[in-house]
Homo-oligomer: A and B are copies of this chain.
Amino acid sequence: MGTLLDLPLDEVLCGDSLEVLRRLPPASVHAIFADPPYNLQLKGTLRRPDDSLVDGVDDEWDRFADLPTYDAFTRAWLTECRRVLRRDGTIWVMGAYHNVFRLGAALQDMGFWILNDVIWRKANPMPNFRGRRFTNAHETLVWAARDPASKYRFNYQAMKTLNDDTQMRSDWYIPLCTGHERLRDAAGDKLHPTQKPEALLHRVILASTNAGEIILDPFLGTGTTAAVARRMGRRFIGIERDPGYAAAARARIAAVVPLPESAALALPSKREQPRLAFGVLVERGLVPPGSRLSDRQRRWSAEVGVDGTLRCGTATGSIHSVGAAVQEAPSCNGWTFWHVETSGGGLRVLDAYREEALAAQA
């Protein structure tokens, strides 16, 4: 073990996370953001339906022999993080179903106090190409205080402002890191397989630190945490093992122009437009399975199935496709074409039920 470092602020420390963490002084940082390897353990190759190859994470740093090995790794770096964290500090740890249950359980076992689990809902996730599972459309962040007695920081009002003056919820809708934000090499290939969106770190840092405070990232990668921290007037400590990633991070951080202090305010969040599937009306019993639907002239009548399928003679499918089929039209808006046979013997257009449901959840 090397000598204890003075607190190395606003630097990217290149080296093994655990070794570097051990050299940092205790109780010295206000917050930690950690995006550790996920232990994906992918087997073969995966192709899209058009036969193109999916470029998965097959890097050496993500390979662990088994779950106990991964747990030992997790507990080792979390132990050092807890030592380095100030008494009132909080930690964010991020993962997916492969590893996040190990992370959360380790945090609890080690005496951290979970404050929230937060869901990053991806606006544009990769689909499930083989149709064998649900689209893996989110990742999980666990937010925890150093211990139950921590007087932790939570910038409640900033979060509320960021969310159009409504309390920030535990589910965050944020796009993947693509486009200009995604770092690429000379050949145009992504520099890092799992670069996180700056919007995610913006929210994390805004919620749990104040300007001038120190945030540590033990798995810095290409520097998202540090870049956002610098822009928002926070101090950072980044640790990254791969010299190539560390160099890219340094260049990226150097290019960041810190915001003027007055601008350290909230950016408006991208609002999500409400969308409602017909199946949801079925699920919720607003248009129960077994209901009869007709067109306005009652030329056709169809039955609603448990999954929101419509059956009309031999035609089966969505409200749109069955509407198109019976009319022998190329397409059809099922919401306005189909009507529910009401108990009073009348017809009520499907779209009215949708509007009702949307209004109820707004």
Q: A178 CB to closest chain B CB, in angstroms?
A: 11
- Complex Cα distance, B108 from A102, in Å, reads 9
Report A294-333 CB contacts with B as 1/0, cut-off 8 Å. Answer: 0000000001111111010010111011000000011100
Q: Is A109 within 8 A of B267, CB to CB?
A: no
Complex copy number for this chain: 2
A342 at the interface (CB under 8 A from B): no
Residues from chain B with a CB closer than 8 A to the CB of A259 are 289-290, 306
Question: Nearest CB to that of A275 among chain B residues?
Answer: B164
Residue of B162, B306, B360 near A202 (CB, 8 A) is B306
Question: Nearest CB to that of A162 among chain B residues?
Answer: B279
Question: Nearest CB to that of A278 among chain B residues?
Answer: B164
Chain A's interface size range is 35 or more
Q: Is A265 within 8 A of B138, CB to CB?
A: no
Q: A323 CB to closest chain B CB, in angstroms?
A: 11
Interface stretch of the complex, out of A9-17, A24-32, A122-130: A122-130
- Complex Cα distance, B127 from A168, in Å, reads 9
Q: Is A105 within 8 A of B108, CB to CB?
A: no
Question: Nearest CB to that of A147 among chain B residues?
Answer: B63
Residues from chain B with a CB closer than 8 A to the CB of A181 are 285
Q: Is B171 within 8 A of A267, CB to CB?
A: no
Residue of B115, B267, B285 near A133 (CB, 8 A) is B115
Residues from chain B with a CB closer than 8 A to the CB of A202 are 282-283, 306
A350 at the interface (CB under 8 A from B): no
Residue of B97, B199, B207 near A142 (CB, 8 A) is B97
Report A104-117 CB contacts with B as 1/0, cut-off 8 Å. Answer: 11011101001111
Residue of B127, B168, B198, B309 near A267 (CB, 8 A) is B309
Which A residues from 78 to 125 make CB contacts under 8 A with B? Answer: 96-98, 100-105, 107-109, 111, 114-119, 121, 123-125
User: With A47-B330, A51-B331, A307-B159 known to touch, is A135 a contact of B169 (CB < 8 Å)?
Assistant: yes
Q: Is A171 within 8 A of B171, CB to CB?
A: yes
Residues from chain B with a CB closer than 8 A to the CB of A134 are 116, 118, 143, 159, 167-170, 207
Question: Nearest CB to that of A260 among chain B residues?
Answer: B290
Residue of B135, B154, B307 near A158 (CB, 8 A) is B307
Question: Nearest CB to that of A333 among chain B residues?
Answer: B49
- Complex Cα distance, B279 from A206, in Å, reads 11
A165 at the interface (CB under 8 A from B): yes
Q: Is B167 within 8 A of A306, CB to CB?
A: no
Q: Is A100 within 8 A of B109, CB to CB?
A: no
Q: A151 CB to closest chain B CB, in angstroms?
A: 10
Q: A270 CB to closest chain B CB, in angstroms?
A: 10
Q: Is A114 within 8 A of B97, CB to CB?
A: yes
Query: Which residue of A97, A155, A181, A316 has the most chain B CB atoms within 10 A of its CB atom?
Result: A97
Q: Is A164 within 8 A of B318, CB to CB?
A: yes
A186 at the interface (CB under 8 A from B): no
Residues from chain B with a CB closer than 8 A to the CB of A131 are 156, 167, 269
- Complex Cα distance, B307 from A63, in Å, reads 44
Question: Nearest CB to that of A262 among chain B residues?
Answer: B303
Question: Nearest CB to that of A127 among chain B residues?
Answer: B167
Q: Is B115 within 8 A of A309, CB to CB?
A: no
Question: What 4 new A-B contacts, CB under 8 Å, besides A134-B143, A173-B361?
Answer: A104-B104, A199-B280, A232-B289, A260-B290
Q: Shortest 10 CB-CB distances between A and B: which pairs?
A: A101-B104, A162-B279, A158-B307, A137-B169, A164-B277, A263-B290, A97-B117, A266-B307, A199-B283, A131-B156
